[in-house]
Structure 1
Amino acid sequence: MAVFTPVSIEELIPWLSRYDVGQAQEIKGISSGIENSNFFVTTDQGEYVLTLFEKLTAQELPYYLNLMYHLAKHNIRVASPIPDRDGGILGTLCGKPAALVTKLDGNWQERPSPTHCAQVGEMMAKMHLAGKDYSLFQPNLRGLSWWQETMPQVIGYLSEENAAFLQEEVALQDAFSRTDSYGRLPFGPVHADLFRNNVMFDGERLSGFFDFYFAGNDTWLFDVAVAVNDWCIRLDTGEFDDARLTAFLEAYQRVRSFTADEDAAWQTILRAAALRFWISRLYDFYLPRSAEMLTPHDPTHFERILRLRAASTASLSL
């Protein structure tokens, strides 16, 4: 999250009058993240989150917003869009598509424990199963084709060694995506960005997932890999913390068992998850957009994780 488009309280008040959420009292920009303009909105009835979409169009947004709404109706703990009085969940504010969503209680966990990881793993598995009957389809827009399109834009900023490594990893994922075993991996709507700061805990209880605006249809295993590459690592080294990783995977498997194809693909998909964020962080670091509140993430973090995953073996312990 960030603020690319400022919104004043004077601009908010008439826009918010379409919703049954009370009178606007305060609007405050949210600094974390890198894609949209986000704000905490306080009214005389409660607190909400307002998002102005900077890249996604009004034609693309129904996939994301309706997915959140669908999951909430299936008892998955997620931030959910709030309909206006006409039943719409997407509007326009300051010339940008905009949505108001519920604000989850609590805070995100900077230093998660195995207990936190287990709750995230369990809820992710439930989310995957709940998404099976979601009617809309959209590919993961930050998937392989995006990596291939973006690599030429960032590779010139890299050392010769890192440029070669990046090309090799993209080629490996391209080859794997063409295999029969990849085609057999369970597939459906995924969050695709479930980092620590996209999950809220109220005390020790998971209160919900949010920021679904990188969601798309992909392998469920990719979603798991993205999550454990953040939730279950030591941030200073990128290495897995075995207790947290075991807690996450075991909790997930109590809801949905991994397949033999998923076990065989695990290391490759862990590499794919690290590669996706290395490329996106390279792009955001070297080709940043202007924003009032934005600090690009250091891309070397995911380069390190990718090198670790490429050099190791991994199993889902089937």
Structure 2
Amino acid sequence: MAVFTEVTFEEVDAFVSTLDVGRLTALRGIGAGIENTNYFVSTTQGEWVLTLFERLSFEQLPFYLHLMRHLAQRGIPVPEPRSDGNDQILHQLKGKPAALVNKLVGGHQLAPDLHHCEQVGEMLARMHLAGRDFPLAQPNLRGLPWWQETVPVVLPFLAPEQRTLIEEELAFQAELAVSAAYKDLPRGPVHADLFRDNVMFEGLPGRERLTGFFDFYFAGIDTYLFDIAVCLNDWCIDLDSGRGVDERAAVFVAAYERVRPLTSAERRLLPALLRAGALRFWVSRLWDLHLPRDASMLKPHDPMHFERVLRERIATPWHPQGERDA
């Protein structure tokens, strides 16, 4: 989230008036994130988040918005897009695609403990099951084809040893993707970006309850295992070293498996998908750092973090197991 497109109070007031959410009372830009323009919107009827989409097209966006609606209607705590009088949930503001969703309660947990990881693991599995009958299909737009397209663009900015690492890992993931074992992995709609800052909790310290997942605008059809790997690489690691924290990972995996048990192939390929998750975010952070877009409050993330994570996953393959298998 960031602010690339400035909007005025009057423009947003006119916009929300078409969505039956009351009159605008406050508007505040959101500085976190790097993809879209986002504002907190307060009205006489509640709290909302307004998103103007800077990269995704009108043709791509129905997948994300209808997925959020689908999950919300099946009891998964995610923001639900607000529709107009014609039941349209994709709108337009300042010439950009736009959506208004309800604001989740609570705050981020940036230093997760076991009970946070347990709740995220369980809710991720519930989300995967709830999405199985979602009728729309769109690939993960930040998957292997995007890595193959983007790595040559960022190579000139890398040191020789970094170039070797990223090219060798890209070749490894390309080979994995055509294997029979990979093609047989269970798949469906995934979040693909479920970091600590995309989950909300509420409650007293040590007793917080999960109140929702948000920012589904990297979602797509992919393996459930990739979604699990992205989570493990953020929720269950030591951020300074990139090393996995086995105790947190065991709780996460056990909670997930209470809802949707992993297949034997998923267990076998998890170390490779943990590498894939690290590569994906190293590539995207390199791209955002070296080829930035102008935006108010834009704060690109440090790509070196996921370089460290990738090196750690290669040097020491990680096999997180649920508590029952530990």
Please, what TM-score do these two structures have when normalized by structure 2? 0.96
Aligned 1:93-172 pairs, distance under 5 A? 93-172=93-172
Q: Which residue of 1 aligns with 2:30?
A: 30
Q: Which residue of 2 aligns with 1:235?
A: 239
What is the SS of the residue equivalent to 1:173? helix
Moved more, 80-89 or 51-60: 80-89
Q: Which residue of 2 aligns with 1:20?
A: 20
Deviation at 1:85, TM superposition (A): 2.1
Deviation at 1:208, TM superposition (A): 0.4
Moved more, 243-252 or 276-285: 243-252
Gaps of 5+ in 2: none
Deviation at 1:86, TM superposition (A): 1.9
Q: Within 2, Cα distance between the matches of 1:155 and 1:299? A: 13
Are 2:250 and 2:320, in contact at CA under 8 Å, matched by a contact in 1? no
Q: Within 1, Cα distance between the matches of 2:111 and 2:171? A: 34
Moved more, 226-235 or 236-245: 236-245
Which of 271, 276, 284 does residue 272 from structure 1 map onto? 276
Q: Which residue of 1 aligns with 2:75?
A: 75
What is the SS of the residue equivalent to 1:223? helix
RMSD: 0.8
Gaps of 5+ in 1: none
**Corresponding position: 1:45 with 2:49:** no
Q: Within 1, Cα distance between the matches of 2:52 and 2:14? A: 16
Are 2:190 and 2:220, in contact at CA under 8 Å, matched by a contact in 1? yes
What is the SS of the residue equivalent to 2:247? helix
Q: Within 1, Cα distance between the matches of 2:17 and 2:239? A: 44
**Corresponding position: 1:205 with 2:209:** yes
Deviation at 1:316, TM superposition (A): 4.2
Q: Within 2, Cα distance between the matches of 1:316 and 1:306? A: 16
Q: Which string of whole-angstrom CA distances, capped at 9 and with x for unpartnered residues, describes residues 66-107 of structure 1?
A: 000000111111111111222110110111100000100000
**Corresponding position: 1:189 with 2:192:** no
Q: How many residues align?
A: 318
Q: Which string of whole-angstrom CA distances, capped at 9 and with x for unpartnered residues, describes residues 160-180 of structure 1?
A: 111011000000000000100
Deviation at 1:238, TM superposition (A): 1.1
Q: Within 1, Cα distance between the matches of 2:270 and 2:87? A: 42
Q: Which residue of 2 aligns with 1:263?
A: 267
Deviation at 1:45, TM superposition (A): 1.4
Q: Which residue of 1 aligns with 2:228?
A: 224
Q: Which residue of 2 aligns with 1:247?
A: 251
**Corresponding position: 1:293 with 2:297:** yes
Q: Within 2, Cα distance between the matches of 1:229 and 1:196? A: 11
Q: Which string of whole-angstrom CA distances, capped at 9 and with x for unpartnered residues, describes residues 146-196 of structure 1?
A: 000001100111111110110000000000001000011101000000000
Q: Which string of whole-angstrom CA distances, capped at 9 and with x for unpartnered residues, describes residues 238-262 of structure 1?
A: 1112221111111001101111101
- Equivalent position amino acid for 2:309 in 1: I
What is the SS of the residue equivalent to 1:38? strand
Q: Within 1, Cα distance between the matches of 2:27 and 2:124? A: 31
Are 2:246 and 2:320, in contact at CA under 8 Å, matched by a contact in 1? no
- Equivalent position amino acid for 2:23 in 1: Q
After TM superposition, where is structure 1 displaced by more than 3 Å over at least 4 residues in a row?
none
Q: Within 1, Cα distance between the matches of 2:257 and 2:231? A: 15
